[in-house]
Structures are given as C-alpha cells and as structure tokens.
C-alpha cells in the first residue's frame, strides 16, 4: 500500500500487520519455536500522520519517493537551497498561502525541489536547521518544524503536477 498525501498535508500510511491467533492455537506452545503460534488473521491497517507528529518527515520523504520511483538520489546545490528557502518563506508569509505562485517565481524550481527533498531525507533536525536558515536568510522568526515540513510537502506536490 502506498502512502497517500491529503490536501490538508496529513499522510495516510500503512502500519505493521496485525497478527491474531485463535485461543485454541495460542494455548499450544508447541506450534512454533517462538511461542507465537500460526497467524490466523492478517489485516492491513493505516494511520493518519499530521505535520509535526513522530514519523511524519520520514513518511513525507517516502511519499515523495513514491511519486517518482525512478528519480535519481537527491542532490542539493547552493543555488537550489537558496531558492528553496525563498519559496518556503514566500509561502509562509503569503496571506493566501500561494504555493503555485512561489514555485513559478523560482528560476530553477527543480533544483529547489531537490534541495527540499534533501532536507526531508535528513529528518526532523534537518528540517529544524533549514527553518532556522530560512529565518536567517529571509528575516523573521523560524517556523516550527511541522509547519516547515507541511510547506515542503505542498511545494513538492506542486512540483510533481
């Protein structure tokens, strides 16, 4: 099952399979060597992750990889990172949260996207550091990591259109 990104930025992710045994089989410890017995029911479940929630950054990076599985490993350039910071700042300060306009204003949106993917691959601390860099470069206070991650997801979604 693939990860699904909702319009509000939440991610629907698959979770580990649930293993259930019936009581009769559970009582027989000789069924297998680890005393767990055979699986009688396997169910696929999902969980909704919100920006800032544990595992969200990793799930967003995986969602992005699923959008284009043949994409080469991400590489961040200095100019791509600078444009990525400008895009994130523009979206964060826009009264109407204008993602499309911020992406269109970039000289090299693909390099910006690669820089943002590189940030996501680094996890939560990378996102926090990036948010601080955006504040230093563009002015203002650093965005909380969950807001930065949500904007990154929106920008990557816009780039994949």
Whether 78 is in a domain gets the answer: yes
Whether 33 is in a domain gets the answer: no
Q: Which domain holds residue 106?
A: 70-159
Whether 31 is in a domain gets the answer: no
Whether 47 is in a domain gets the answer: no
- Domain count of the chain? 1
For position 29, what pLDDT does the model report?
46
Burial of 126 (0-12, 13-18, 19+ CB in 10 A): middle
106-135 confidence digits (pLDDT tens) = 999 999 999 999 998 888 899 999 999 999
Whether 92 is in a domain gets the answer: yes
For position 22, what pLDDT does the model report?
56
Distance separating alpha carbons of residues 93 and 160, to the nearest angstrom: 23
21-35 confidence digits (pLDDT tens) = 555 555 554 455 455
Whether 122 is in a domain gets the answer: yes
């Amino acid at each position: 099952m693939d990860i699904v990104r909702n319009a509000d930025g939440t991610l629907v992710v698959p979770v580990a399979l649930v293993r259930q045994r019936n009581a009769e089989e559970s009582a027989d410890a000789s069924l297998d060597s680890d005393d767990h017995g055979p699986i009688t029911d396997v169910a696929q479940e999902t969980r909704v992750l919100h920006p800032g929630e544990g595992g969200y950054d990793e799930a967003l990076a995986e969602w992005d990889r699923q959008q284009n599985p043949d994409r080469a490993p991400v590489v961040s350039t200095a100019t791509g990172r600078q444009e990525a910071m400008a895009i994130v700042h523009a979206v964060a300060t826009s009264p109407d949260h204008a993602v499309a306009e911020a992406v269109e204003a970039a000289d090299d949106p693909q390099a910006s996207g690669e820089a943002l993917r590189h940030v996501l691959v680094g996890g939560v601390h990378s996102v926090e550091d990036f948010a601080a860099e955006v504040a230093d470069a563009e002015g203002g206070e650093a965005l909380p990591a969950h807001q930065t991650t949500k904007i990154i997801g929106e920008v990557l979604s816009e780039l994949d259109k």
